[in-house]
Amino acid sequence: MITKYATYPSLDGRVVLITGGSAGIGAAMVEAFHAQGGKVAFLDIDEKKAEILRDRLIQKKRFDPYFLKCDVRDIGQLQNCIKKISNEVGNIHTLVNNAGGTERLSANKITLDKWENFQSLNLRHVLFASQAVFPNMQLMGEGSIINFTSPTFRRRTEGWAGYAAAKSGIEGLSRILAREYGESNIRVNSIMPGWTATEHHKKFFLNPEVEKDLMTVQCLKQLVLPEDIARIALFLSSDDSKFMTAQVYKGDAGLV
């Protein structure tokens, strides 16, 4: 079967860790890196969905996906999982900080506990996961860290203050990490998906009004799919992008 999408030889056998990998964009990335011959490890709090994904991909390539249940808000647990993956799968070349979560609350309704959860679920783990993989990458003399941001703060979307603050923080953190880690030939970039038609979004949020708004605002008049975003991550992990760092790559069909 002929495919129109790229194959990256540099990804073959490369150890890739993806957080939040059981569904949506995360699952699409697990599948995409696995199809490229990568040694894919992924973390998620949803063990049931993760096992379904893993069972579907197992034995389709020479490296079976490696899954660990993990709540990224628990930094100790996260760091232990990363250490275990490094020991059992191999030195981690690519870290994809994809895990996150949303809740719509106006700024004046955000309590301290809600604020802390927004940051721990979307931002805090990005730093500490990056710290944890740094020794692996430094040892190899190369690496790629890919962090997920969001267009919500650029669109000034009402009700997303906590989430938008965390996601804007990811852009700033990524640029500083790119500078500091660049001395070790480690690249740090961000991906900004647009409104992506995951199964969750289609079930709970997609309706004629939302789709009309998207098609009015977007330059390209079609829905962005999880696999479209996954292909950006493939490129940013591959050697084809070896001089690209401290950048934000938008996969939003021209939404912002």
Ramachandran area for residue 59 (φ above 0: left; ψ -120 to 50: alpha; else beta): left
Q: Is 43 helix (H, G, I), strand (E, B) or coil?
A: strand
Active-site residue 181, yes or no? no
pLDDT in tens, 114-142: 999 999 999 999 999 999 999 999 999 99
Residue of 8, 163, 181, 249 marked catalytic? 163
Total length of the chain: 256
Task: State pLDDT tens for residues 175-229.
Answer: 999 999 999 999 999 999 999 999 888 888 889 999 999 999 999 999 999 999 9
3-state secondary structure of 74: coil
Residue in 37, 34, 39, 42 with CA at minimum distance from that of residue 18: 42
> Distances from the Cα of 124 to the Cαs of 7, 88, 175, 242, in angstroms?
33, 25, 15, 26
Reported as a single tens digit per residue, the pLDDT across 226-248 is: 999 999 999 999 999 999 999 99
Q: For each of the domains in the chain, give its residue range(s) and CATH number, in order of start.
A: 9-250 (3.40.50.720)
